[in-house]
Amino acid sequence: MNEKVIHDPLHGSIAVSGVFLKLLMRHEMQRLQNVRQLGMAHKVFPGANHTRLEHSLGVYHLAGRMGRAIGLGDDDMRHVRAAALLHDVCHLPYSHNLAELFENRMGMDHMEMARPLIKGTIPTYFERDEDLAGGTGTIEEILESEGLSSDTVCDLIANPRSEIEGLDMFTESNEKQSFFSSKDYLHQMIHGPVDADQMDYLIRDAHYTGVAHGSIDVERLLTQMRVHNKTIVLERGGIVAAEGLMVSRALMYTSVYFNKTVRIAEMMLSKAAELSDVDMRTLHLMDDSDLRGELIAYGGRPSELMRSLIHRRLYKKAFSAYTIDLDEEQKDKIVRYSKYEDKKRLEDEIAEEAGVDYSEVIVDMPPRSSLQSRVKIGKTDVSIYYDGRVRPITRISPVSKALQSRDTFGWAVMISSPEAHKEKVGRAAASILNL
């Protein structure tokens, strides 16, 4: 069969054919069918069981619609749609839960990991699946055989921004450069202020969590979209739709992605992986069930933490400090612990002070930029074509300007522990942080 029509609850019928169907049927892509889009969010929002594969199909579909809206040529369209479909091909199990641990140990994120996976320079399947996936070649071979450049697709997948946005905001990153100075609009379709990725995840995540914040006027955004000076811009008539997108994103981050209980569950999973000997070099091959089984089989605290998550026996908030209540000196104290290794050191200090095991203390905090109240651009830097000039939306829209400086997190630090220890862990945290 040269075409499949997939029925999506958000976008309706999505036709997948040719090279895209070949990519979809690859074992690397089918793994995503067993990777939850929102990791541990189903512990708070029971309907949040949608997967990275569904999201990838949605991004592929919206990238095609964006391409038609801005008049992309056939070659550019095929490269962008391939990148859209493959953008999460190397995503870790349980969504972004393990991103900080993985990046600390491996020195790269899942988007950078996509390049060696696509080129086949790292394993693409476990030995147990040799009978199913062996001899299938590489994704690069499929792309090249269909007249697509694997390097171009990989470059489109890689995120060049210095601020890791969305669910990755808990991770610091180094400055990176875009490969697309001449056609940056292609990259913006995957990683821009108004891109196919975030449009899909916002409406999809709102749909499955049941919250009312993910409503986006996709039709209006597409009709007002164009390319000007090699950059994607919105016409003046798209301002309200862009404001709606920004409001939706801000509210979804606060109510779903950074929900305190969701974060505690996510950090428990990360702690379990940290304490185990799970091989980070094979994490891109695992789905959620693989990692769950490995952590349980490991025994000890990793097993206890994973089984506690399964039975929803979650840690409780022992201590928290809210950004609005802190002066600059107090913020500076917390900032000292914002890097991964410093957070681990703080966990160790609190555990020793409280007389509990290291595994029973979890420290969670926003990135340094948020703690220091820096204005965030990136996803809020929407370009508006207004009266013959291109201007940032924040110069036109007071709503957008307010959202750019909005504190997405609310809290500056949150420390959790088992309920039985939360009082003494809270006292120890307050003492050490002197808050």
**pLDDT tens, residue by residue, 48-103:** 999 999 999 999 999 999 999 999 999 999 999 999 999 999 999 998 889 899 99
Closest of 10, 64, 38 to residue 265, by C-alpha: 38
pLDDT of residue 387: 85
Model confidence at 170: pLDDT above 90:
no
Task: Give residue 109's pLDDT.
Answer: 82
Q: pLDDT confidence of 269, banded at 50, 70, 90?
A: very high
Same domain, 184 and 38: yes
Q: Other CB atoms closer than 10 Å to residue 234's CB: what's the count?
A: 27
> Do 211 and 347 share a domain, yes or no?
no
In a domain, 266, yes or no: no
Task: Judge if 319 and 435 occupy the same domain.
Answer: yes
What's the chain's average pLDDT?
89
Range of the domain at 129: 3-216
Is 62 contained in some domain? yes
Least confident of 150-159, 278-287, 323-332: 323-332
Last residue of a domain, one of 197, 216, 235: 216
Residues 64, 180, single domain; the answer is yes
Rounded to an integer, the average pLDDT of 260-288 is: 95
For residue 74, give the CATH number of its domain: 1.10.3210.10
Q: Is residue 226 part of a domain?
A: no
61 with 176, same domain: the answer is yes
pLDDT surpasses 50 at 264:
yes
The neighbouring-strand residues paired with 15 are: 5
Quick: pLDDT tens for 377-431: 456 689 999 888 999 999 999 988 888 777 777 788 999 999 999 999 999 999 9
* Percentage, residues of the chain above pLDDT 70: 91
The pLDDT score that the predictor gives to residue 159 is 67
Give the count of domains, the chain. Answer: 2
Q: Does residue 202 register a pLDDT over 70? A: yes
Look at residue 405 in the predicted model and tell me its pLDDT: 77
- Assess if residue 105 is contained within a domain: yes
In a domain, 273, yes or no: no
| 229-258 pLDDT tens trace | 899 999 999 999 999 999 999 899 889 999
pLDDT of residue 175: 36
pLDDT of residue 386: 87
What pLDDT is recorded for position 178? 39
**229 found inside a domain:** no
Residues 164 and 57 reside in one and the same domain: yes
Residue 144 resides in a domain: yes
Last residue of a domain, one of 192, 216, 240: 216
pLDDT > 70? residue 228: yes
pTM of the model: 0.91
Asked whether residue 361 is domain-assigned, the answer is yes
Confidence band (pLDDT; 50, 70, 90) for 332?
Answer: confident
Sign, CA dihedral 117-120-125-126, equals negative
Give me the mean pLDDT over the 258-262 stretch: 93
Which residues are CB-neighbours of 389 under 8 A, at least 6 positions away?
none
Mean pLDDT value of segment 214-231: 93
Last residue of a domain, one of 216, 231, 259: 216
First-residue to last-residue Cα distance in the chain: 64
180 vs 299, residue with greater confidence: 299
**Which of the four pLDDT bands, split at 50, 70 and 90, describes residue 172?**
very low
